[in-house]
Amino acid sequence: MSTVFISIFAFVLAIGILVAVHEYGHYLIARLIGVKVLRFSIGFGRPIWLRRWGKDQTEYCISAIPLGGYVKLLDEREGNVDPGDLPRAFNQQSIPKRIAVLVAGPLMNFVFAVVAYWAMFVIGVPGLAPIIGEVTAGSIAANAGLSEGSRIVRVGEHPVLTWEGAILAILDSMLAEG
């Protein structure tokens, strides 16, 4: 039962990270071009955590339903806008600037994916150790002396650290023998 909760937690965490990266793309470009950001929210519904910060008193919140998020921008189509803030309203920006704000979220997800894959490539992902799980009686493996829990350390003269390495070494030796 605990693995179900761990899986749910991992899913919510992964979605939360992806949503935060996506929404941060919209937020960052909006701020850079001078649009007033009213709220940056991860999740929908009632806020669980809310803080106002910065010269514009932008609301940063984490909400109850963690399956999305949004960045609320100042926009006179949403209600009355103070005349002093009118130049900072989203709908008052040029079309290229509005497009930049809209495209920034998906673009930030793409950049995040590239960085994440690059990090996995540089750091590496550990492979599974080549440890025998089960040996059928009378099989070639049993006749070779392998037993449950045996670790494959080399195939022929090729040392192996992972199952992938073991399989490649076996294929290599099979091809070499013809």
Query: Averaged over 153-163, what is the pLDDT?
Result: 91
Q: Which amino acid is at 82?
A: D
Query: Averaged over 74-82, what is the pLDDT?
Result: 87
What is the reported pLDDT for 2? 85
What is the reported pLDDT for 144? 86
> Catalytic amino acids?
23
Give the pLDDT band (50/70/90) at residue 178.
low
Give the pLDDT band (50/70/90) at residue 76.
confident
- Percent helix, strand, coil in the chain (nearest 5)? 50, 20, 30
Domain ranges of the chain: 2-123, 140-177
Indicate the length of the chain as a whole number: 178
Query: Averaged over 8-22, what is the pLDDT?
Result: 94
Q: Does the pLDDT at position 23 exceed 70?
A: yes
User: What is the dihedral angle through the alpha carbons of 11, 17, 22, 28, rounded to the nearest 10 degrees?
Assistant: 170
Query: What is the rounded average pLDDT for all residues in the chain?
Result: 93
pTM of structure: 0.73
Give the pLDDT band (50/70/90) at residue 78.
confident
